[in-house]
Structure 1
């Protein structure tokens, strides 16, 4: 399975979490997807890039570190001072209506706007 195919699967998990107004730790996302927590950053980049490129709320803000409750260092989709505001934007956006981007669109977003901090 390619990075963008796996990212497309993770998008669906994040869209459901947003609908339920939940954040998820890297550990929980790891258990839900079967991907080791250490490898999640590279899979979140296509989602982050897609959101930035298409001017969507930063969906990957929902993935947080267990210890701090904040996104990891690779998160570049929002300013640290705006986390609460941007998290509310993510919760209020209708991700299910937007739909899940196809893997090719996610990979294209990384190519056009690499975003791994």
Structure 2
């Protein structure tokens, strides 16, 4: 699978998590999609870039470190002081109605707005 195809797969997992008002650890997400947790940052970047471009709540805020419950260093969708408010925005947004942007749009988003801090 390409990076953007994996990102599309992750989008579906995160949209479901948002609907259920849940976070997902890096380890849990890695197991769900069958990739090493260490490589998830590059797979989350297309989603983060897409959300930034389209002014959507930062969906990748739902992926957190098990030890701290906070997003990893590559997350740039909100400031540290704004995490709780942004997470509530993600929970409130209707991701299922928005739909999955599909690999081509996610790939274009990274090209237009690289976002992995």
**TM-score between the two structures when normalised by the length of structure 1:** 0.99
Counterpart position of 1:80: 80
2:70 is paired with a residue whose SS is coil
Query: Take 1:2 and 1:87, find their aligned partners in 2: how far apart are those partners?
Result: 28
RMSD: 0.4
Does 2:63 align with 1:63?
yes
2:83 is paired with a residue whose SS is helix
After the TM superposition, which segments of 4 or more aligned residues of structure 1 sit over 3 Å from their partners? none
1:108 is paired with a residue whose SS is helix
Counterpart position of 1:28: 28
1:81 is paired with a residue whose SS is helix
How far 1:102 moved relative to its partner?
Answer: 1.3
1:31 is paired with a residue whose SS is helix
**TM-score between the two structures when normalised by the length of structure 2:** 0.99
CA deviations on 1:36-68 (whole Å, 9 max, x unpaired) are 100100000000000000000000000000111
Query: Take 1:112 and 1:34, find their aligned partners in 2: how far apart are those partners?
Result: 28
Consecutive unaligned residues of structure 2, counting only runs of 5 or more, are none
Q: How many residues align?
A: 117
Query: Take 2:40 and 2:82, find their aligned partners in 1: how far apart are those partners?
Result: 23
